[in-house]
Amino acid sequence: MKEIKKLLVANRAEIALRIIRTAKALGIKTVAVFSEADKTAAHVAAADEAVSLGSPEASRSYLNIAAIIDAARRVKADAIHPGYGFLSERADFAKAVADAGIIFVGPPASALALAGDKIGARKIAMECAIPVVPGGEVEDLSAARALAARLGFPVVVKAAAGGGGRGMRVVRAETELEEALEAGAREAKQAFGDGRVYLEKFLARPRHVEVQLLCDAYGRVVVLGERECSVQRRHQKLIEESPSPVVDDELRSKMAQAAIKLAQRTGYVNAGTVEFLLDGREFYFLEINARLQVEHPVTELRFNCDLVAEQLKLAAGEPVRDRWEPRGHALECRIYAEDPELGFRPATGEVLYVHKPEGPGVRVDSWIEPGSRITPYYDGLLAKVITYGEDREQARRRMAIALEELVLAGVPHTGGFLRDIVLSEPFIRGELSTRLIDEQFATWRPDQQALRVALAMAATAFVRRIDLTQSATGPTLNRRADRSPWVELRGFVPWS
Amino acid sequence: MKIVRKNQTEEHELELERDQGDQITARVDGSSVVLTIQRLSDGSFLVSDGERRYRGFVCRSESGVEVAIGPYLFSFTLEQAREVRSRSTQVARPEIVAPMPGRVAKVMVAEGDRVRKGQPVLVLEAMKMELVLSAEVPGTVTRLRVTVGTQIEAGAVLVEIKPDLSTQQAETEAS
């Protein structure tokens, strides 16, 4: 057994902050790393020490393996937690960390390599007699045409090295195939440095259900239930919950057995997730996410545990705890800097005001505060609102209220959109699918009553002489003081 | 006054009828809205329309005002400001402008190329999505300001296009 005394967190934003908090509570010293864009970020302030990595571009900072290992050596960190995204699933990073004599809080490089190759992982699943969505690798356009014809349209183009929906394209007819292969390969190359793609049959309205695993170094695997993450846009999750409203004990046990088989077959250690598509009562292996998931708090609330603490114990060589009792229901909504009215286009800007929800059964994992800058360099996740209830309905009501409490200005975000989904009939009934947003919320508009109030407020603001012609044509207002609320207008605004 | 919501497709007719400080009456698209407003200690406000109460926030944006009403965020521009801006850009230099910050993933034209209206010109990649930008007018590419891999800010001019004279005149006359 090794002891972790000092942990370097190779990540940023809410997940870095969340990992730092757990480490501190375990008496572990913490080291943050940061790019120039994050000098004043919350995760930097929270850590015991912080090391600069350099330029804002991810490739030069949070993806810079040499700089991160160098930082860990300099501060004498004995472990590195990669968080999610960035380097978390890179076998070369895990190997470089291990070679430097530092504990990697995650699976061994060999398991990462197996999980990271989506085509290889599919083959392993088939060898374990776990169903996969029909499809396969395609070398060129003519092979793709032949396979697509056999599968029948629509088909999905996916990145072999992929994950998180990147490089993924739905193709409805043969005429779209060439463009989709090209775009998918380009996006995959850009995101993963590997342009290989494969084709899969497109399931019309599947659910996304995933199984949380904890695996120790002695071959033991425990399952911490499932999460349903069907509410997605661009094949990326927006709402997650545990348990799934439709998975019963029989199905749960089958999916758990499949996940355990895969973990054992890949030599998996630490926390991991096996993702499935669920179509009726048939489930298909999707991929292994060899890291802590964004949506892990849903499992934490349901199992009353701290998954990062478990990860640190497993990384230090402790055996996995074998008794886990679930209770109640947990939900998570992801607040992204995106405009739900413009096809979830990523937005940038500065947070000018934020009021975060609180209360019984409500947890908010976030990194933003007034002045936080949302830049194009990184993922736009601003906050995760997580609620717990004795049953799904209590968790859902708490979520609706929590999202009503959220106020955030300065950058478009998904808060209001998610509130409306949580209050919608299909969501209340648990009638979910990965197509829910596309099919039922594509033309979503904000609450009309709130819009009327906003319009009346805007009329007041315009009349009370905010000089808008100047701001529309004049110099860009980028100093925070210039843009903060009513600063120059305080004299005009007699609201008390 | 005429107010446009940020996606530029939704116009609203507004008039502030009475302003008594903490109570205002406005005509919003022909019907009356009475609001009671109370400033809160953190700079936000509590607003009631007689039926529901919201915590909200108002601030200036680059082109107008932004109003948060609970979790809903609205962005408004005055119609006159929008006209001034669109006229000055459309007639002078029809250019491809980045609607969002990101990275240039693909360039489909070269300087000197002729482009049709609606022809894809480049692909922008931001965070986890791709966006195809197309020519808004027919013309000739006079300057390519970016290459694959260039990081760009929202609003940056990416490609300059000299519009075909006849088409430009036709569009100017039509507007």
- Is B36 within a domain? yes
Residue of A344, A355, A471 with shortest CB distance to B62: A471
- The gap between the terminal CA atoms of chain A, to the nearest Å, is 61
Q: Quick one: how far is CA A399 from the chain centroid?
A: 18
Same domain, A289 and A433: yes
How confident is the model at residue B68, as a pLDDT?
A: 96
Closest chain B residue by Cα to residue A191: B128
Q: Which residue has the higher pLDDT, A185 or B173?
A: A185
Same domain, B6 and B62: yes
- Is A124 within a domain? no
CA atoms within 13 A on the CB side of A229: 28
Same domain, B7 and B75: yes
Q: Please state, for a pLDDT cut of 90, what percent of chain B lies above it.
A: 33
Same domain, A324 and A211: yes
How confident is the model at residue B138, as a pLDDT?
A: 87
In angstroms, the CA B145 to CA B156 distance is: 10
CA distances from A167 to A151, A187, A358, A361, B52 (A): 20, 5, 37, 37, 44
Among A142, A176, A201, residue at a domain's last position: A201
In chain A, the number of structural domains is 4
The pLDDT-based confidence of B81 (bands split at 50, 70, 90) is low
Question: Does B22 contact A495 at a Cβ distance shorter than 8 Å?
Answer: yes
Same domain, B69 and B127: no
CB of A473 within 8 Å of a chain B CB? The answer is yes
How confident is the model at residue B127, as a pLDDT?
A: 64
Question: Does A346 contact B105 at a Cβ distance shorter than 8 Å?
Answer: no
Among B80, B110, B138, residue at a domain's last position: B80
- Would you say the C-alpha torsion A118, A123, A129, A134 has a positive or negative sign? positive
Residues of A identified as active-site = 291
- Angle (deg, nearest 10), helices A109-116 and A249-266: 120
Can you say whether residue A219 is alpha, beta or left, with left for phi > 0 and alpha for psi between -120 and 50 degrees? Answer: left
Same domain, B112 and B155: yes
In chain B, the number of structural domains is 2
CA distances from B162 to B97, B112, B143, B171 (A): 14, 10, 9, 14
Q: Which residues contact A485 (CB under 8 A, 6 or more apart)?
A: A352, A353, B43, B44, B57, B58, B59
In angstroms, the CA A62 to CA A56 distance is: 9
How confident is the model at residue A47, as a pLDDT?
A: 98
Q: Please classify residue A63 by burial: count the beta carbons closer than 10 Å to its beta carbon, then call 0-12 exposed, 13-18 middle and 19+ buried.
A: middle
How confident is the model at residue A1, as a pLDDT?
A: 77
In angstroms, the CA B51 to CA A425 distance is: 23
CB of A380 within 8 Å of a chain B CB? The answer is yes
**CATH number for the domain including A98?**
3.40.50.20
- Is A112 within a domain? no
To the nearest whole angstrom, how far is the Cα of B102 from the nearest Cα of chain A? 6
Q: Which of A396, A407, A386, A393 is nearest to A485 (CA)?
A: A407
Label residues B97-111 b or e (16+ Cβ within 10 Å = b). bbebbbbbbbbebee
Same domain, A263 and A366: yes
CB B28 within 8 A of CB A450: no
pLDDT at B50 over 80: yes
Q: What tokens were used for A25?
A: 């509570």
Q: Which of A483, A354, A346 is nearest to A414 (CA)?
A: A346
A88-134, pLDDT tens digit by residue?
Answer: 999 999 999 999 999 999 999 999 999 998 889 999 999 999 999 99
- Is A115 within a domain? no
In angstroms, the CA B70 to CA B53 distance is: 9
Same domain, B56 and B98: no
Same domain, A375 and A361: yes
Question: Does A236 contact B67 at a Cβ distance shorter than 8 Å?
Answer: no
**CATH number for the domain including A432?**
3.30.470.20
- Is B173 within a domain? no
Same domain, A249 and A395: yes
Same domain, B65 and B100: no
Which strand ranges, in their side-by-side order, compose the sheet holding A135-137? A135-137, A197-201, A155-159, A169-171
To the nearest whole angstrom, how far is the Cα of A413 from the nearest Cα of chain B? 8
- Is A122 within a domain? no
Same domain, A307 and A400: yes
Closest chain A residue by Cα to residue B74: A454
Among B16, B48, B80, residue at a domain's last position: B80
Contacts 24+ apart (CB under 8 A), B9-15: B11/B79, B12/A455, B14/A455, B14/A456, B14/A458, B14/A459, B14/A462, B15/A459
- Is B124 within a domain? yes
pLDDT at B91 over 50: no
Residue A34 burial (CB count, 10 A): 22
In angstroms, the CA A367 to CA B126 distance is: 21
- Is B158 within a domain? yes
- Is B86 within a domain? no
Q: Are strands A49-54 and A29-35 parallel, antiparallel or unpaired?
A: parallel
Q: What angle do CA B35, B37, B40 make, to 5 degrees?
A: 155
Please give the interface size between A and B, counted as residue pairs whose CB atoms are below 8 Å apart: 241
**CATH number for the domain including A193?**
3.30.1490.20
Q: What tokens were used for A393?
A: 């309905």
Q: Quick one: how far is CA B70 from the chain centroid?
A: 22
Residue of A380, A409, A473 with shortest CB distance to B85: A473
- Is B59 within a domain? yes
Same domain, A147 and A214: no
Same domain, A359 and A482: no
**Residue holding tokens 């990462």?**
A112
In angstroms, the CA B79 to CA A420 distance is: 29
In angstroms, the CA A322 to CA A327 distance is: 16
Same domain, B98 and B132: yes
Structural domain boundaries, residue A430: 207-440
- Is B85 within a domain? no
- Is A119 within a domain? no
Q: What tokens were used for A348?
A: 């940038």
Among B80, B107, B123, residue at a domain's last position: B80
Residue A286 three-state SS? strand
Same domain, A220 and A172: no
CB A91 within 8 A of CB A298: no
Same domain, A244 and A355: yes
- Is A125 within a domain? no
In angstroms, the CA A367 to CA A16 distance is: 9
- Is A224 within a domain? yes
How confident is the model at residue A235, as a pLDDT?
A: 87
- Is A270 within a domain? yes
Same domain, A293 and A369: yes
Which of 185-224 (A) contact B at CB < 8 A?
186-187, 190
Which of 299-328 (A) contact B at CB < 8 A?
none
Structural domain boundaries, residue B128: 93-166
Residue B92 burial (CB count, 10 A): 8
B125-169, pLDDT tens digit by residue?
Answer: 876 567 788 888 888 999 999 988 888 877 788 998 888 865 544
Same domain, A297 and A407: yes
- Would you say the C-alpha torsion A324, A295, A290, A29 has a positive or negative sign? negative
Q: Which residues of chain A have pLDDT under 70?
A: 162-164, 465-496
- Is B175 within a domain? no
Q: What is the ipTM of this complex?
A: 0.88
Amino acid in position A253: S
